[in-house]
Amino acid sequence: MSKHKKVTPPETVVDQSAESIKKPSILPDAQLSEITTDDIGEPSSVILPQQDLKISSDLAQSTIDRLATLSELEYELERTETAKSLNNMSVRSLDRLVKKARSKTESKISESLVVDIEPYVKPVTDIALLADQIYQILDDHIACTDAVKTAATLWIILTWVIPASHILPIAWINAPEKRCGKSTLLTLMSHMSKRSLSTSNITKSALFRSIESYKPTLFIDEVDTFINDNDGIRGVLNAGHSRDNPYIIRCVGDDNEPVPFNVFGAKAISGIGRIPDTLIDRSIPLTLRRKMRDETKKRVRDLPLDVTNMIQSQLARWSDDNMSAVKEADPVLPVSINDRAQDNWQILFKIAILLGDEWLKKAHKSCMEISG
């Protein structure tokens, strides 16, 4: 039997040249700031720290504006990934920002509901003559007393000087029966008032949102069909009467956040029969009648828009030039009417003072016939 030789494992040979290989190193930020392009020659073994990519606010806003134009389904498919791309924004925050962007877009579209008239290029030196023209247009189309035509004329001018008024009386166009011209008068007044917005029916929510958003002169027809059974609408109309208490508060949004809505503004309503006493108390009644068999009245559709547009333009210029004068006017009101009626008529008397003595007399007579 042969003997086996004991085999000794070979010794591990260490390659000394491996020590010459540089290990990667990471420099502190302070040292990195000292490195210049002159220091860069051969490929470096220094590993620079990664910088976080930040989305600019302009790019983020552009993305949000684009999302606001998408359909509900399209937005739902994109919202999660897009939120991540916007610096890991929360989806809830993105939803809120997109909703806000959509609201702005809708507001711009809705602005076409009301129109701002360019003021006349020349000063209106004879406002009484312009008031006479408005009065004559009403007389040509409506069967009513002189007192009603006077009050309606002054109320139309009122819509152009709202900043000068502390109280805005509701123009309540009423009649005991059908076919007395209620809608006709409402239409005529809307064609000569500032930022007119007309409707035949409206919900409580649409009412206060429209007033807050558009600051219109609101014309509501056929209020007798819904006003008496709607506490919410009555509350909004009541609140919009005085600058002292012009706000209503409603909870809005997913978080039910309380939001104030300013509902102070000029409003005209029309309908058959009575309205709630709280509204009557805040109104100037414009009561109409049917025309007599021998009376002839013109149709509104035959009144050229150029005529009413010119009246609006001149009223816009006159109000710009005379707002302070209207605000500072200090009329003497009839002492025989109650305090609320005096509040309602005060702005009309302020306007009448600037129209001159003849119109001031007409205003006094109208006030006594309607509210005395």
Do 329 and 239 fall within a single domain? Answer: yes
Do 235 and 325 fall within a single domain? Answer: yes
Q: What is the pLDDT of residues 343-371, one digit of tens each?
A: 999 999 999 999 999 999 999 999 999 99
Q: What is the pLDDT of residues 217-258, one digit of tens each?
A: 999 999 988 888 888 899 999 999 999 989 999 888 777 889
Do 90 and 220 fall within a single domain? Answer: no
Has residue 278 been placed in a domain? Answer: yes
Has residue 95 been placed in a domain? Answer: yes
* Most confident of the ranges 24-33, 234-243, 306-315: 306-315
326 close to 350: Cβ distance less than 8 angstroms: yes
Do 143 and 95 fall within a single domain? Answer: no
Question: Strand, coil or helix: what is 292?
Answer: coil
For residues 308-314, average pLDDT? 97
Do 158 and 76 fall within a single domain? Answer: no
Q: Which of 113, 142, 158 is the last residue of a domain?
A: 113
Do 170 and 283 fall within a single domain? Answer: yes
Q: How confident is the model at residue 327 (pLDDT cuts 50, 70, 90)?
A: very high
Closest CA to 276 of 237, 239, 249: 237
Has residue 323 been placed in a domain? Answer: yes
Say yes or no to pLDDT of 177 above 50.
yes
Has residue 169 been placed in a domain? Answer: yes
- CATH of residue 232's domain is 3.40.50.300
Q: How confident is the model at residue 1 (pLDDT cuts 50, 70, 90)?
A: very low
Q: How confident is the model at residue 53 (pLDDT cuts 50, 70, 90)?
A: low
Residue 112, pLDDT score: 62
Residue 60, pLDDT score: 86
Residue 150, pLDDT score: 98
Do 67 and 164 fall within a single domain? Answer: no
- Quote the domain boundaries for residue 342: 127-371
| Continuous H helices in the chain | 29-32, 57-67, 72-85, 91-110, 127-141, 146-158, 182-192, 204-214, 231-239, 277-280, 305-328, 339-355, 357-371
Closest CA to 352 of 326, 334, 372: 326
Taking the C-alpha atoms of residue 137 and residue 189, their distance in angstroms, rounded to an integer, is: 10
Do 156 and 186 fall within a single domain? Answer: yes
Residue 43, pLDDT score: 46
Q: What is the pLDDT of residues 256-265, one digit of tens each?
A: 889 899 999 9
pTM comes to: 0.72
Q: How confident is the model at residue 20 (pLDDT cuts 50, 70, 90)?
A: very low
Has residue 148 been placed in a domain? Answer: yes
Q: What is the pLDDT of residues 58-115, one digit of tens each?
A: 888 888 888 888 877 888 888 899 888 888 888 888 888 988 887 776 555 455 688 8
Has residue 255 been placed in a domain? Answer: yes
Taking the C-alpha atoms of residue 178 and residue 70, their distance in angstroms, rounded to an integer, is: 48
> Quick one: three-class SS letters along 326-361?
HHHCCCCCCCCCCHHHHHHHHHHHHHHHHHCHHHHH
Has residue 73 been placed in a domain? Answer: yes
Residue 37, pLDDT score: 46
Do 95 and 133 fall within a single domain? Answer: no
* Most confident of the ranges 36-50, 79-93, 186-200: 186-200
Do 153 and 297 fall within a single domain? Answer: yes
Phi, psi of 164 (to 5 degrees): -90, 0
Closest CA to 303 of 159, 136, 130: 136
- How much of the chain, in percent, has pLDDT values that exceed 70? 83
Has residue 144 been placed in a domain? Answer: yes
Residue 264, pLDDT score: 95
Do 137 and 209 fall within a single domain? Answer: yes
Q: What is the pLDDT of residues 271-292, one digit of tens each?
A: 998 899 999 999 999 999 998 8
Residue 101, pLDDT score: 84
Residue 105, pLDDT score: 63
Residue 111, pLDDT score: 55
Residue 255, pLDDT score: 76
Do 192 and 271 fall within a single domain? Answer: yes
For residues 8-15, average pLDDT? 49
Number of domains in the chain: 2
Q: Which of 85, 113, 141 is the last residue of a domain?
A: 113
